[in-house]
Chain A
Amino acid sequence: MKLEVRHLTKRFGGVAAIDDVTLDFPSGSLSAVIGPNGAGKSTFFNLISGALLPDGGQILVDGEEITGRSQAAIVRRGLGRAFQVAQFFPTLTVRENLMAAVAAHRGQWGDLARRFPPPGARTRADEIAAMLGLAESVDRVAATLSHGDQKLLDIALALALEPKILLLDEPTAGMGPEERARMIDRVQHVWAEQKLTLVFIEHDMEIVFRIAERVAVLCYGRLLAAGTPAAIRADPAVIAAYLGTEAPKP
């Protein structure tokens, strides 16, 4: 599904955290959003996913406006997200986390007529766990997982919703080089297999320029540039504001 953002604006007091941003994410594309700290990247995601209400502009999914809808309604429209700090259910096991998400996706969250898990949820949960390499941890209580596995679980919960658009806020935050490589590998794998429109925020330029098809640069809430990695790397404004002279050589 195609995600479009038109003239999106969000102010906190007098400060424009997101200032008239217009961007397209074509169906099935893999895009990165980069920018210095405080550039408004997470705010951008919070606006799209309905956690914050914009002060102006529109958000469209496949041409249909979703601006101002509830988080639940946006989720039902096919948009899932994972968070900078992994969000999951710490006292449940990995499998219970995923079975609960599957039940929620199937509209069974209010079901009182049967015992948990509803039929089929377990199989589906194990499939999703396997997709992200969590198969060996399904019986572990989520709070006891490693940091990297918790980030994977967060993404797995989003995938349980069978989203068409997936937003990942710094999937490799706080990881060592090895965990980072494994995470990026999984993200690429899931993107290709699920034919998702995937947008991720990332600080590691090496990763961004290696896997992203398109890159958008935010700076002080404004869209500085958007385009292919090669174009972004050569853009004088981006080099001056963000990449600096140490930009990776092509």
Chain B
Amino acid sequence: MNGLWRDSGVALAALVLLLGAPLAFSSPAFEDFIIRLSALALFATSLNLLVGGSGMISFGHGLFYGFGAYAFALLMQRTTLSLASAVLLTLFLAALVALLVGAVCIRLKTIYFAFVTLAIQMLFYSVIISWVSLTGGDQGLQGGIPRRVIAGIDINQQGHLYQFCAVLLVAGLFAMRHITASPFGMTLRMIRDNEARAAFLGIPLWRPKLAIFVLAGVFAALGGILASLFVSGAYPEFADWPFSGQAIFAVMLGGIDSFLGPLAGSAILLALNDIFTRLTEYHGLVQGVVILLFALGLRRGVLDFLRVLPGRGEVASR
């Protein structure tokens, strides 16, 4: 249980730092960055539960991010549910959707899995674009998120939203860390490494695969909820394929084999965007060059790179 204590310590320290930061220096830009980071990092880390943790390369993970954002925003606008109830109901609905999508997809292998998940995401995107009366179509969901003050927390104030996002980011990452470090997480690594062997050890492959597909969908939806709070609504881009691509870039940049890799990758990606959007309209080009550098040059993400540096011996190539 040493790992659990260590991770709890790290999570607690991170939370104290994040919540304490605004007391030490007040920077709306920093708070803004952390809010956006919390949404993208939860999304990218949940994707890596599938890609790095289980060897299931999904191109359509943005479906759950988009679903989380729209479902939450609509629940807040059209019902009188409290903030917490709306969050929980959104996560529950996301789990149901993931269960349905997963039931169709998980039996497919590699590229077929990737493309069927992508196809289902694009179907969802088309529904958002077409169902204008519900979703606002390509204009996005307007009207804002109504304020519901509970226990003194007003999510429409940036300071309170920052605290809310910081807590959910740390809690979400901690929960995902626990999943990857559990016997269940090890089962997923076995499936990633060698499905045939895992089957002959008596593991009914579809059950752990479907379970992680649903869990990853729920955490992606949590990211979507935070994004919805940040933009006070939802945009179809959340469910569009380039956004799924962003998460894959974040995973690659940060490191597929390190738990915190996707978090680091998300931070780098957001920082690069913020800096280069200000300097040049060709920020997409800069992003592309950086990704090529990592994919072709370094061949692993930043944290994977740090992890093998201090003479930890060989890391098996995959």
Decide if the interface of chain B is mainly helix, strand, loop or mixed: helix
Known contacts A90-B316, A104-B202; A109/B187 CB under 8 A: yes
Among candidates A87, A113, A118, A144, residue contacting B197 with C-beta atoms closer than 8 Å = A87
Within 8 A of A (CB), among B105-129: none
User: Could you say which residues of chain B place their CB within 8 Å of the CB of A70?
Assistant: 204
Smallest Cβ-Cβ distance to A99: which chain B residue: B186
Cβ of A112 and Cβ of B186 under 8 Å apart? no
Known contacts A115-B181, A143-B317; A100/B186 CB under 8 A: yes
CB-CB contacts of A139-171 with B at 8 A, as 1s and 0s? 001111000000000000110110000000000
Stretch at the interface among A71-79, A199-207, A227-235: A71-79
| Minimum C-beta distance from B211 to chain A (A) | 7
| Minimum C-beta distance from A22 to chain B (A) | 25
Cβ of B200 and Cβ of A87 under 8 Å apart? yes
| Minimum C-beta distance from A29 to chain B (A) | 22
Within 8 A of A (CB), among B171-196: 178-179, 181-187, 189-190, 192-194, 196
Cβ of A110 and Cβ of B185 under 8 Å apart? no
| Minimum C-beta distance from B174 to chain A (A) | 13
Best-buried of B186, B193, B196, B199 by chain A (most CB within 10 Å): B186
6 CB contacts below 8 A, A to B, read A70-B204, A89-B194, A110-B187, A116-B186, A143-B317, A158-B200
Cβ of A109 and Cβ of B199 under 8 Å apart? no
Best-buried of B190, B194, B202 by chain A (most CB within 10 Å): B202
Cβ of A89 and Cβ of B183 under 8 Å apart? no
CB-CB contacts of A94-122 with B at 8 A, as 1s and 0s? 00100111011100111111111110000
Smallest Cβ-Cβ distance to B211: which chain A residue: A110
Cβ of B193 and Cβ of A72 under 8 Å apart? no
| Minimum C-beta distance from B232 to chain A (A) | 35
Cβ of A143 and Cβ of B316 under 8 Å apart? yes
| Minimum C-beta distance from A87 to chain B (A) | 4
| Minimum C-beta distance from B52 to chain A (A) | 11
Interface residues contributed by chain B, number (CB under 8 Å): 34
Cβ of A141 and Cβ of B201 under 8 Å apart? no
The answer to the question of A194 belonging to the interface, with a C-beta cut-off of 8 Å to chain B, is no
User: Could you say which residues of chain B place their CB within 8 Å of the CB of A108?
Assistant: 183
User: Could you say which residues of chain B place their CB within 8 Å of the CB of A115?
Assistant: 1, 3-4, 178, 181-182
| Minimum C-beta distance from A163 to chain B (A) | 10
- 7 new A-B contacts, CB < 8 A, other than A100-B187, A113-B182, are A51-B200, A75-B202, A100-B201, A103-B186, A110-B184, A112-B183, A114-B183
Cβ of B194 and Cβ of A90 under 8 Å apart? yes
Report Cα–Cα, A106/B233, bound state, in Å. Answer: 48
